[in-house]
């Protein structure tokens, strides 16, 4: 069900904007700090008017950038008011409530390939052409299913998308303009290479791995701050130096030493239980993409053998713990033979750490338990779902949607000698990654087979960093652990936080993972009513818009209204406004009683609350 938007003018007063859905309604006035709520139950009008639907899955009648409104009729408001119909696709509501994206009729949900860029800034008119083996696998599968892939995305979409996907950071207006003005045919590839070498790459991907490796000082992981910092620092160094993934995994699996001084040993401490069976299940989840609790008991017992000689001991330093190979502990293997997950059996030498034998088997280039798992996981990081979905639930009865694609990704990784950046580059330069988010098919299989770029809400850390970047403000992060992270510097970026225990109310509200299990699904990016209300009506966001030095500097621009409008669009949405958008903002500044500063703040607030800002698209 969509919205009905009513726009009224009451006897020369300020316009009012009412959103109706399911019998409830919510009304906004023009100035965001003076909005009046006449709302039904939370989660109805209030929750739906502020963003895309919770699952944000594009369908033919519900696609990114297009209307889901049930009616575009404008009705007169009681009390002698007048009303006005707004016919352009970027509906006035997005400029006031930042919520509804529409064209003049429902038929416009599927854009014409010949539509000018000014009218549709999200997709090109010519069909995508395969660029590499990834595309051949994807397009061949789509052809078998009778599904048309989406059209390629435009440069304004690509520059924002690749910045967010590779370094978790919005492009600055200068970076966006530089890319859009670049006339080289290979400028997208050049930008990808540049981003893969940026410092923020290490920050962002350290955050992702810290989620999976459970870098958290507090309960229930209980690493303690010194150890969490050492663990995070080692992961960051590995990302910065582009440590090959097979070496990354082997280092973690065979680590020994102090939790304060040898970061990788915290892999064996960042678990809710440390018995061999629990360790085996964690290893299977992290490096094999398998939920071993679903295995037969006998197979789990065989897996546990390889982790049965891990010892832990304390030192004179408070909370320091040594992780080591303890040959005195029983091996718990019949006749000293270990059985690997693929059924291969071999003798385990008494003087050798059995973890080394497991690691040597695991990272063999053609071991599908290892290579396919990380290839599938890497794909999911860019598309919101793996070729096997969920990306950490690989099993025989959960087959890949496109087996050929998964094989191509695994082969690419082996050929790259487990250089994840090379795999990322192959994915990012593919025509599949550069498709528009506007689907051309209603078939459910379109999403599972990557016929379009999927909409995904920004991660909590990326979203708050983006809000701080566009406004020039900072955030305060604290930890319940008293030492040494009571309060961090206010210029600390959220994606670079070294410990899952360090948080804020914003991160908690927007679904940052607790880092308790290492599951990908622990991060919750589903849109909630509290998130919508926070963005729409909180003093936290309002102050960033009204007092943020970057926005204030834009408002003081001497270039006139046009420069302010362009500056806000480039800063918040990483693109210029269309002619229609620019005109409607200019018209808004001419509203009776409206001053230029308030109108610009209205625009900033509306753009921040738009789906275009809040989502990967």
Closest to 138 measured CA to CA, from 393, 368, 390, 382: 382
Taking only the tens place, the pLDDT of each residue in 180-195 is 999 999 999 999 999 9
Residue 2: the pLDDT is 35
pLDDT at 551 over 80: yes
E strand residue ranges, 410-537: 456-457, 478-479, 502-503
> What average pLDDT does range 331-348 have in this prediction?
88
Q: What are the boundaries of each domain within the chain? A: 216-362
Query: Distance between CA 129 and CA 22 in Å, rounded?
Result: 43
Of residues 558 and 223, more confidence is placed in 223
- 3 state DSSP class of 375: helix
Taking only the tens place, the pLDDT of each residue in 247-281 is 999 999 999 999 999 999 999 999 999 999 999 99
Cβ proximity of 501 and 480 under 8 Å: yes
Q: Which residues, in sequence order, are bridge partners of residue 27? A: 18
Q: Which residues, in sequence order, are bridge partners of residue 314? A: 321
Residue 345: the pLDDT is 92
Taking only the tens place, the pLDDT of each residue in 99-113 is 333 322 222 233 333
DSSP-H helix ranges across 386-439: 403-415, 420-428
Taking only the tens place, the pLDDT of each residue in 381-394 is 999 999 999 999 99
Query: Distance between CA 403 and CA 435 in Å, rounded?
Result: 21
Ramachandran quadrant class, 98 (left: phi over 0; alpha: psi -120 to 50; beta: rest): left
Would you list the DSSP string of 206-271?
HHHHHHHTT--SSTTT---HHHHHHHHHHHHHHHHTT--HHHHHHHHHT--EETTT-GGGGGGTSS
Of residues 154 and 92, more confidence is placed in 154
The per-residue b/e assignment along 223-244, b for 16 or more CB within 10 angstroms, e otherwise, is bbbbbbbbbbebbbebbeebbb
Percent residues over pLDDT 70 in the chain: 79
pTM, entire model: 0.83
Taking only the tens place, the pLDDT of each residue in 456-492 is 999 999 999 999 999 999 998 888 665 555 567 878 9
> What average pLDDT does range 349-372 have in this prediction?
94
């Amino acid at each position: 069900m969509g919205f009905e938007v009513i726009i009224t003018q009451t006897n020369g007063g300020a316009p009012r904007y009412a959103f109706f859905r399911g019998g409830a309604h919510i009304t906004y006035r023009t100035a965001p700090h003076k909005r009046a709520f006449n709302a039904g139950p939370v989660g109805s009008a209030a929750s739906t008017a502020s963003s895309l639907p919770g699952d944000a899955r594009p369908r033919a009648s519900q696609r990114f950038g297009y209307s889901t409104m049930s009616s575009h009729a404008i009705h007169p408001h009681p009390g002698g008011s007048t009303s006005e119909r707004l016919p352009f696709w970027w509906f006035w509501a997005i400029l006031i409530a930042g919520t509804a994206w529409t064209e003049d009729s429902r038929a416009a949900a599927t854009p014409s390939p010949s539509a000018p860029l000014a009218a549709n800034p999200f997709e090109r008119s010519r069909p995508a052409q395969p660029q590499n083996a990834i595309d051949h696998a994807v397009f061949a599968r789509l052809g078998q299913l009778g599904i048309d892939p989406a059209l390629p995305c435009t440069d304004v979409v690509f520059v924002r998308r690749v910045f967010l996907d590779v370094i978790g950071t919005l492009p600055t207006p200068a970076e966006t303009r530089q890319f859009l003005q670049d006339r080289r045919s290979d400028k997208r590839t050049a930008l990808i290479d540049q981003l893969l070498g940026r410092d923020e790459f290490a920050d962002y991907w350290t955050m992702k791995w810290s989620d999976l490796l459970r870098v958290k000082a507090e309960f229930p992981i209980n690493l303690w701050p010194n150890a969490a910092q050492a663990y995070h620092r080692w992961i960051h160094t590995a990302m910065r130096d582009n440590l090959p993934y097979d070496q990354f995994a082997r280092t973690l699996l065979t680590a020994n030493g102090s939790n304060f001084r040898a970061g990788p040993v915290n892999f064996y401490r960042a678990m809710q239980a440390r018995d061999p069976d629990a360790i085996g299940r964690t290893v299977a989840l992290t490096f094999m993409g398998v939920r071993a609790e679903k295995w037969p008991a006998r197979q789990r017992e065989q897996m546990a053998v390889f982790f049965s000689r891990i010892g832990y001991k304390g030192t004179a330093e408070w909370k320091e713990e040594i992780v080591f190979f303890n040959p005195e502990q029983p091996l718990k293997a019949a006749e000293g033979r270990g059985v690997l997950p693929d059924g291969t059996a071999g003798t385990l030498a008494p003087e050798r750490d059995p973890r080394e034998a497991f690691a040597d088997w695991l990272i063999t280039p053609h071991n599908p338990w290892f290579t396919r798992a990380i290839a599938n996981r890497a794909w999911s990081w860019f598309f919101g779902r793996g070729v096997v979905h969920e990306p950490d639930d690989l099993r025989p009865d959960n087959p890949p949607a496109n087996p050929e694609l998964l094989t191509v990704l695994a082969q690419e990784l082996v050929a790259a000698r487990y250089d994840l950046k090379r795999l990322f580059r192959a994915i990012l330069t593919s025509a599949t990654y550069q498709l528009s988010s506007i689907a051309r098919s209603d078939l459910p299989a379109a999403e599972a087979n990557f016929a379009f770029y999927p909409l995904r809400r920004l991660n909590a850390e990326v979203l708050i960093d983006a809000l701080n970047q566009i406004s020039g403000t900072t955030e305060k992060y604290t930890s319940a652990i008293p030492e040494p992270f009571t309060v961090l510097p206010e210029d600390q970026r959220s994606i670079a936080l070294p410990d899952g225990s360090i948080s804020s109310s914003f991160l908690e509200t927007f679904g940052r993972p607790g880092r308790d299990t290492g599951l990908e699904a622990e991060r919750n990016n589903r849109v909630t009513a509290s998130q919508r209300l926070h963005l729409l009506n909180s003093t936290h966001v309002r102050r960033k818009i009204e007092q943020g030095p970057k926005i204030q500097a834009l408002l003081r621009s001497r270039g006139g209204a046009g420069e302010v409008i362009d500056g806000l669009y480039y800063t918040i949405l990483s693109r210029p406004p269309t002619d229609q958008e620019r005109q409607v903002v200019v018209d808004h500044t001419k509203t009776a009683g409206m001053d230029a500063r308030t109108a610009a703040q209205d625009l900033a607030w509306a753009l921040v609350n738009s789906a275009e800002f809040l989502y990967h698209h």
